[in-house]
Amino acid sequence: MEVQNQLVVGMSEIQVASGPTRYTCLGLGSCIGLCALDPFSGVSGAIHVMLPEAFPNRPVDRPGKFADTGLPELLHLMELAGAIRSKIIAAYAGGASVFQYGTGVPGVQDVGHRNAEAVRKVARELGINVIAHDTGGSNGRTIYMQSDTGEMVVKTISAGEKVLCSLRRP
Partner 1 sequence: MSERIKDLSKQELAAVHKMASKGLRHALFSLSQITGHSFGMHAPSVSAVSLEHLPEVVGPGDQVVVAIYMSIDGDVRGHLAFLFPWHSAQRLWDLVVGHYPHDPQTVDDLCASAMLETGNILNSGFMNALSLMTNLRIHATPPLVSIDDAHSIASAITCQTELGDSVALAMETKIFDEANDGISGYFLCIPTGKGLHALLTGLDVRESA
* Residues noted as catalytic: 31
The one segment of 92-100, 116-124, 128-136, 144-152 that binds partner 1 by CB under 8 A: 92-100
60 binds partner 1 (CB under 8 A): no
76 binds partner 1 (CB under 8 A): no
The SS3 assignment for 108 reads helix
70 binds partner 1 (CB under 8 A): no
145, 135, 101: which is closest to 28 by C-alpha?
135
Rounded least distance, CB 1 to partner 1, Å: 28
Binding residue (CB under 8 A) for partner 1 from 100, 124, 125, 161 = 100
The one segment of 77-85, 136-144, 146-154, 160-168 that binds partner 1 by CB under 8 A: 136-144
128 binds partner 1 (CB under 8 A): no
DSSP 49-87: E-BSS--TTS--S-GGGBHHHHHHHHHHHHHHTT--GGG
Closer to partner 1 by CB, 95 or 150: give it.
95
139 binds partner 1 (CB under 8 A): yes
Distances (CA, A) of 163 to 33, 65, 144: 15, 26, 9
Which run of H or of E encompasses 120?
helix 111-125
102 binds partner 1 (CB under 8 A): yes
56 binds partner 1 (CB under 8 A): no
First-to-final CA distance of the chain: 26
Binding residue (CB under 8 A) for partner 1 from 99, 117, 136, 153 = 99
Distances (CA, A) of 101 to 12, 75, 97, 110, 127: 27, 38, 10, 14, 37
Closer to partner 1 by CB, 114 or 168: give it.
114
